[in-house]
Amino acid sequence: MDTNGVDILSPDTIDNFALARERMAQELTRNGVTSVRVLNAMKKVPRHLFVSEALRYSAYNDVSLPIGFSQTISRPTTVGRMIQSLGLTGRERVLEVGTGSGYQAAVTAELADRVVSMERIEALHRRAKVTLLMTMNYRNIELYHTGAFSDIKGTFDAILVAACAPVMPEHLISLLNNGGRMLIPVEKGNSQVIKKFVRHDEEIVYEEEVGEAQFVPLVM
């Protein structure tokens, strides 16, 4: 166990969960995640390394799990559906708002050219840094400790918002390339739905609903 509370497992230990990931992939398929690329990425990323040791054996159940600081790692089905609907080909530059544990960033990094992820809670940012950059050696992920969209430089082909927005964050739209797509959970009655928007020149066009979810609030 290192000082950030993430223990470093040997590749052997990581492999003990391969069967659990296979079963998770079958459940994802039943829940509408059918993209082979997305399923392969989710079969590869060791979700158990993104949760505390006590939750390790629940890591491949299709549930969201606590990651501390009143935040949660999303349910695999939600991660799979969101990433699938971005239609990533491997060439995209993607922004994730809400690194949390880093799990979704890892799955995205398997499918895109580059992932930039921002997290407002410093302890989560630091822990994700250890997991993604030191333990797993992802070279195409950049992590920032910030809650301000204006701190993020450059533009993106896709934006994944991993927290529920009270209102549409205008600044985020300006970070989208033309043709870029954004997935963002918003409140609908007493629940939440994930909405997909696509930028066409100066316009942001609503495309579809990607499913229901239960996200923590986006702090704006």
Looking at the Cβ atoms of 134 and 205, the one nearer to ligand SAH is 134
d(CA 72, CA 164): 12
**Shortest Cβ contact with ligand SAH: which residue?**
98
Looking at the Cβ atoms of 12 and 72, the one nearer to ligand SAH is 72
Q: What is the binding site for ligand SAH (CB under 6 A)?
A: 67, 71-74, 97-98, 100-101, 103-104, 118-121, 124, 147, 162-163, 216, 218-219
Listed in sequence order, the DSSP H helices in 31-156 are 36-44, 76-86, 103-109, 122-128
- Clarify whether 74 is annotated catalytic: yes
Sign of torsion over alpha carbons 156, 158, 163, 168 = positive
* Least spacing, CB of residue 71 vs ligand SAH, in Å: 4
Q: Among 52, 58, 70, 74, which one carries the catalytic annotation?
A: 74
> Angle at Cα 32 formed by Cα 46 and Cα 59, nearest 5°?
25
Looking at the Cβ atoms of 35 and 78, the one nearer to ligand SAH is 78
Beta carbons within 8 Å of 121's beta carbon, 6+ residues apart: 69, 71
Residues with catalytic function: 74
